[in-house]
Amino acid sequence: MAKQMRDDEEQLIARSQRGDVNAFNELILHYQQTTYGVVYRMVGNADTAADITQDAFIAAFRAIRSFRGGSSFRAWLLRIASNMACDHWRRTQRHSEESLDVLADEDEPHAASDLSSLVESGQEANPEEYLLSQELQGIIQRGLQALPLDQRVAVVLCDIEGLSYEEIALTTQSNIGTVRSRIARGRARLRLYLDQYRELLPRNYRLPTNKE
Amino acid sequence: MANLDRDRHLTTEQLSAFLDAQLSPAEQVEYNAHIESCQRCQGALASLRQTVALLRAMPQPAVPRSFALPAGVTYLQEPATRQGEPAYTPARRGLPHYMQRSLRIMSTIAAVIGFIFLLSGVLPMLIHGGGTMTTSAGSATAPASPNNKAMQPNEKATNNAPTHTPNKTSPSAGSSPAGTPARGSTPAARTEPKKTSPNNQPPKQAPPVPPIIDLSIPLVRQALGFALLVIGIIGVLLTRRWSPRRM
């Protein structure tokens, strides 16, 4: 099955390289969820993420001839998309630094006020299927956005999209050691960030306090 | 405290890699043994695991629309032209270079033919005059130029016409002596004819006109030869001066 899919993908790539938009659109259909997901988690805004994703697919089609068969098409595609998301982030961060501070200030009282509503009962029994409240999702999203770009890409690809270290290394054009360290530092930083909101976390996710 | 911890406990990177089973089997066993015996590392691992669990629990955002590209759009052509652009610029530079080259070749041919014509006018004198070689050569070329100037306006179009006919026969014989004497006459040619150069060059391409001039008259041959030599030298000089400016 997996081999069949890979063969199909190779055919679609070959047709795309000959300029077949329809073939490329099939690839887009297959990868748009992952691509959009990565970009969305990196920039944290649906409209911006949609624009970047669209631009990334256009750029990918333009550059499809430079893709070498045999390597991971997903990694190649996600490299284009994550690079564009990083570029966008760097471009817009200069202007939005002030608004980020405002956001951080807002978080504190808000988080303290209605923490009980965030912890939904009954989920502790089944942590794997735990549904994060909208607010907790927002906090985690902001925690991701607080990470340096290299760590953010690595954490998003690893822990949200579930890519292997090897594929992350391909996507970010770095070696496994670098990937490993970026993921670890990103997770540690995110843990610290979430620690501010530990009251919001469901009990089974609550971070241990023995560090204090 | 912190230093001691670092010596005895696993780093975040080690724990993170342990969590993802990205260690060698030996390391995995070793770290596992340590974690089981170390409460602190257990706690750190648990908090890391929880962070990862939170991230994994993040829902996939719904794709807001299809990102399919409009059918019939040929995006591929755009990078093709982009890649072609750098190739275009040398091509644009190459065009005058081609013209320069052909101009230079034509000028050299004209100079060679001119020299042969001059030589054919002078040679009989040398044969007949014997000892007056130096003076006759000087007088043969020198008075030719004022005459030539007077004739040029009338004969320009016609003068150059015969270049096509002697072209076939003469260059092979004359190409070897052409190089050296042409250089000798450059100082004279260099100073004077520059102003007329734009006028002199186009007639070379003029359509062939039936020969009116009698080439058997030595003076005509000399005048024609001188004119061609001057035109040729100017052509060569001009094309040589252009090239360093362009490069």
Residue-wise pLDDT for A176-193, tens only, equals 999 999 999 999 999 999
The residue of B39, B75, B77 whose CB has the most chain A CBs within 10 angstroms, and thus the best one to mutate to test that interface, is B75
**Separation of alpha carbons A168 and A154, rounded Å:** 7
Q: Which of B36, B50, B27, B5 is nearest to A209 (CA)?
A: B50
Domain definitions of chain B by residue range:
2-54, 101-246
Total CB pairs under 8 A between chain A and B: 136
To the nearest whole Å, the CA of B39 is away from the closest chain A CA by 10
Determine the length of chain A: 212
The values of phi and psi at residue B142, to 5°, are -60, -55
CB contact under 8 A, A208 and B66: no
B45's tokens: 């691992």
A1-95 belongs to which CATH class? mainly alpha
Residue A77 is inside which H or E element, if any? helix A73-113
For residue B80, what are the contacts with CB-CB under 8 A and spacing of at least 6?
A: none
DSSP string of A14-68?
A: HHHHTT-HHHHHHHHHHHHHHHHHHHHHHH--HHHHHHHHHHHHHHHHHTGGGPP
Q: Residue B133's pLDDT is what? A: 44
User: Any idea what DSSP says for residue B125?
Assistant: H
CB < 8 Å to A162, chain B: 56
Q: Residue A176's pLDDT is what? A: 95
Rg of chain B over all Cα atoms, to the nearest angstrom:
43
Q: Residue B197's pLDDT is what? A: 45
* Fold of the domain built from segment(s) A114-212: Arc Repressor Mutant, subunit A (1.10.10)
Q: Is the backbone of residue B45 left (phi > 0), alpha (psi -120 to 50) or beta?
A: alpha
Higher pLDDT among residues A168 and B100, named by residue: A168
Within 10 angstroms of residue B12's Cβ, the number of other Cβ atoms is 19
Per-residue pLDDT tens digits for A88-119: 999 988 665 544 444 444 343 333 333 334 44
- Residues B27, B32, B33, B37: is their CA dihedral positive or negative? positive
CB < 8 Å to B23, chain A: none
Look at the block and give the residue holding tokens 């072209």. B167
Q: Which of B99, B112, B122, B111 is nearest to B200 (CA)?
A: B111
CB contact under 8 A, A180 and B70: no
Per-residue pLDDT tens digits for B122-145: 776 666 654 444 444 444 444 444
Asked if the C-beta of A151 comes within 8 angstroms of chain B's C-beta atoms, the answer is no
Residues of chain B short of pLDDT 70, as ranges, are 1-7, 72-98, 124-215, 240-247
Within 10 angstroms of residue A127's Cβ, the number of other Cβ atoms is 14
Per-residue pLDDT tens digits for A11-69: 999 999 998 999 999 999 999 999 999 999 999 999 999 999 999 999 999 999 999 87
Question: Cα angle at B111 between B108 and B116, to 5 degrees?
Answer: 125
**Separation of alpha carbons B247 and A160, rounded Å:** 56
**Separation of alpha carbons A145 and A50, rounded Å:** 17
What distances in angstroms separate CA A190 from CA A71, A105, B227, one per listed residue? 31, 18, 88
Q: Residue A116's pLDDT is what? A: 37
- Three-state secondary-structure class, residue B16: helix
Residues of chain A with CATH 1.10.1740.10: 1-95
**Separation of alpha carbons A65 and A17, rounded Å:** 5
Q: Which of A11, A38, A39, A43 is nearest to A27 (CA)?
A: A11
Higher pLDDT among residues A209 and A204, named by residue: A204
- Residues B237, B242, B243, B245: is their CA dihedral positive or negative? positive
Residues of chain B with a CB closer than 8 angstroms to some CB in chain A: 11-13, 15-17, 20, 22, 39-40, 43-44, 46-48, 50-61, 63-76, 78-79
Mean pLDDT of A1-12: 84
